[in-house]
Structure 1
Amino acid sequence: MSGIARVVRHGPVHLATEAFADPGQPPVLLIMGATASMLWWPDEFCRALAGKGRFVIRYDNRDVGRSTTGLPGEPGYTIDDMAEDAVAILDAYGLAHAHFVGMSLGAMIAQIVALKHPSRVASVTAISSARLDEDDPDLAPMDPRLLEHFGRIAGLDWSDREAAVAFHVESFRISAGRQATFDAERARSRAEREYDRAINPQSAMNHAMLTGGERYRGRLGDIRAPFLVIHGRHDPILSFAHGVRLAEAVPGAGLVSLDDAGHELNERDWGLIVEEIHAHTSGPGRRPAP
């Protein structure tokens, strides 16, 4: 089973998408996090989820992969615009609604869609994410190793493929957390594919400058779509407490912990994650609000 590529047009924006399995099955839209393309939803993961009887769609957000890419340092769009991109993909595929599965920033995009377009969201699964409106200073900050690593980005020559790939591999290693078994070979392979596929690898960093979502502050309790949080116990970017707070903010939300995971989709956890998504998208739950 291989994915079928398709470009979706949303006004002046082109979004690279790829679909797996039968369009007649319940649709699942995978939304990846900041600076990462659809490749972070590995082919094997998508095929495993599709094998559970789901029509799986993954895509490149703006400024990553093969989607519309602007100049580095000039995003020119907000997280609200990215939420509208997700809805445009449903429209292009002729889908009235879909189950949304978001990773990190991707789950924050899903939160906005669930609030702004509730009828389009059958359920939400938020992986390694946080409340869209979270700003509690008492929550654990990002691992200082990652802050130090990204502090070197100003001196990175993005035209140097080897240097850019090495930078990303180190990012992956730190993001995996101190408890995780890190597969350097797999990480390097993904970083090389990511670099070679990107229109402009440096533009992915525009995601660090994103604004938006302000109108939805304090409104997560209004989400009516069935909601599931999956979070690593050793997440060095968004601590496990962020996942707990997100689950507490959405009525009836479930919480699944990945005991050895960081901020990642580790291969050893794919089976559990796929099973949890399958179960979450199988029950009657609450229907999307009209």
Structure 2
Amino acid sequence: MQGESQVPKVTANGIEIHYEEHGDPAAPPMLLIMGFGAQLTLWPDELVEELAGHGFRVIRYDNRDIGLSHKFDGVKAPGIVKMTLLSKIGMKPKVPYTLADMADDGAGLLDTLGIEKAHIVGASMGGMIAQHFAARHADKCLSLTSIFSTTGNPKLPPAKPEAMKVLITRPASTDEDVLVDHGVKLARTIGSPGFPADEERLRERTRMSVRRSFYPEGPTRHLSAIVADGDRRAMLKGVSVPTLVLHGEDDPLVPVEGGRDTAASIPGAKIKTIPGWGHDLPLELVDEVADAIAEHAKASVA
């Protein structure tokens, strides 16, 4: 199921990527990288507009295998049990693509748009991709902001079982109302206990997302890329880009320890944690999050 869209597209890193731009085209660019199984629309319009209002050319895009970007139809990912076992004995499972490949997608998008350098902002899996971007493409990276993400350190506390369960459970059918109910349940389970989403707005946004694109195979390959990536701490120690870590203190999917470990692993990184914040971008925090990202980005080039 895929809806019509006027979202611009480019060919970058050998695949088709759909993206959106907001703000002054002459302003400093800021690339937003979304997370696991999530379309670019999961960045709230209010946050995007706020960042544009802070004086940035804001670019958000659909990662490969999700939304309107290129799909790797028919490419099999190894099962999660097999991958976990291989990882535990120090073997790298063979996966369709890696988080490093996904970071190269973002770099390729910037190249295609004629952008030499940008502020890189990633949320959740997008934060992991952004970490790879800063390590692999430091010359293109003005600053890094990693939002409710982590390092892959196996000793960190895991996701709450109910959060992981709803994340990886497929909907019972492809009926639109069933998909919307599933999406709302997911959002409620991993969302912010201190800032619960308005029911009507949540349902409407979820329905729009389903109508834009529903592609359940993509997240399976996303998950294989995450599991295969393993522990990034050694890589992060080499990151020299000015870094800010933002994390909710009540995140049930990626506990706050993941954010603290990210900040501890990147030399000179700063961290800001917010009580009541879970694994979403609630309207009540748009100003605070946008201000933090914008202040960090501006300070990094001052």
TM-score normalised per structure 1: 0.89
Aligned length: 278
Consecutive unaligned residues in structure 1, runs of 5 or more: none
Match of 2:252 in 1: 236
- Provide the secondary structure at the position in 2 that maps to 1:190: helix
Name the counterpart of 2:25.
23
Q: Is 2:289 aligned against 1:273?
A: yes
What's 1:160 paired with? 175
Q: 1:108 to 1:172 in 2, by over 3 A?
A: same
Distance 2:300 2:277 in 1: 29
Structure 1's 152 and 110: CA in aligned 2 closer, same or farther, altered over 3 A? closer
1:135 equivalent to 2:120? Answer no
1:41 corresponds in structure 2 to 43
Report the Cα offset of residue 250 of structure 1.
Answer: 0.7
Q: 1:72 to 1:175 in 2, by over 3 A?
A: farther
Say whether 1:114 aligns with 2:116.
Answer: no
Amino acid in structure 1 at the alignment position of 2:183: H
Q: Deviations over 1:153-178 (max 9, x none)?
A: 2x622x21111111111000011144
SS at match of 1:279: helix
CA contact (8 A) 2:9 2:16 kept: yes
**Which residue matches 2:9?**
7
2:117 to 97, 107, 118: 97
2:218 paired residue number: 203
The separation in 1 between residues aligned to 2:282 and 2:220, in whole angstroms, is 23
What residue identity is the alignment partner of 2:196? T
1:98–1:120 CA contact under 8 A, matched in 2: yes
Aligned-residue Cα RMSD (Å) equals 2.1
Secondary structure, in 3 states, of the residue corresponding to 1:222?
A: coil
Q: Deviations over 1:38-85 (max 9, x none)?
A: 001122211111011100000000121111123377363221210110
Match of 1:125 in 2: 145
User: SS at 2:178's partner residue?
Assistant: helix
- In the TM superposition, 1:243-262 aligns within 5 A as 243-262=259-278
SS of the aligned residue for 1:219 comes to helix
Cα separation, 2, equivalents of 1:270 and 1:100: 18
Q: CA deviation at 1:239?
A: 0.6
Answer yes or no: is the 8 Å Cα contact 1:112–1:213 preserved in 2. Answer: no
3-state SS, counterpart of residue 156 of structure 1: coil
